[in-house]
Amino acid sequence: MDKNVLLWVVVAFLVVLLILMYLGWQARRRRQASLPATRPVPATVGDEFFRASAFYVATTLAGEPLNRVAVNGLGFRARAEIIVASEGIVLAIPGQPQTWLPANDLRGVDRATWTIDRVVERDGLVLVAWDLVGDDSRVSVDSYLRFDRAAEVTTFSEAVTRLLHNSASHSSTQGGLA
């Protein structure tokens, strides 16, 4: 077979592969178009407990670490600024609108070893479980973060746990209304 023919076969295969990847991503976005939008960051987020730069790995549907959420600015991994404040968590991914995770929408914090397209050492990822809340729907999701230092993992987890505790205390004293 002529070298030029082989080259064109390989190029055509790669082009077809890229087109299929693009179509798959668009199909995922269409399927997830009904997910509630993320909330914008409010003017005041309360007292800051924690701030660090971390690697935002992914957000997936809760309990489905291979089912990436591809809408609402959560589809691509990147370095991100993470802020835990008394009213919630700010997730600032460059090139995307900042995402607000209100304290009342948080479900927990845990450790993980893998999620879509990322496997690390045991408990090398931090999982933040939260709910995307819309006018008439609530979808549970898990966001995965990777911090540079072990001390940041501990401090972040403690800050989120404190936030969860404060949110639960506030909800119970307010009759479940926030």
User: Mapping DSSP to helix (H, G, I), strand (E, B) and coil, where does residue 89 land?
Assistant: strand
Which residues sit opposite 81 in a β-bridge?
53, 92
Q: What is the pLDDT of residue 175?
A: 39
Cα three-residue angle 95-61-154, rounded to 5 degrees: 75
Q: What is the pLDDT of residue 1?
A: 64
Residue type, 51: R
The pTM assigned to this predicted structure is: 0.81
In angstroms, the CA 124 to CA 29 distance is 28
* Structure confidence at residue 34 (pLDDT): 81
Q: Are 92 and 144 in contact (CB under 8 A)?
A: no
Q: Could you give the angle at the alpha carbon of 68 between the alpha carbons of 66 and 69, nearest 5°? A: 155
Mean pLDDT by 10 residues, the chain (178 residues): 87 95 87 85 94 96 92 90 96 94 96 90 94 88 96 96 80 40
User: Residue 1 and residue 5: Cα distance in Å, rounded?
Assistant: 7
* Side-chain half-sphere exposure of 25, counting CA atoms within 13 A: 10
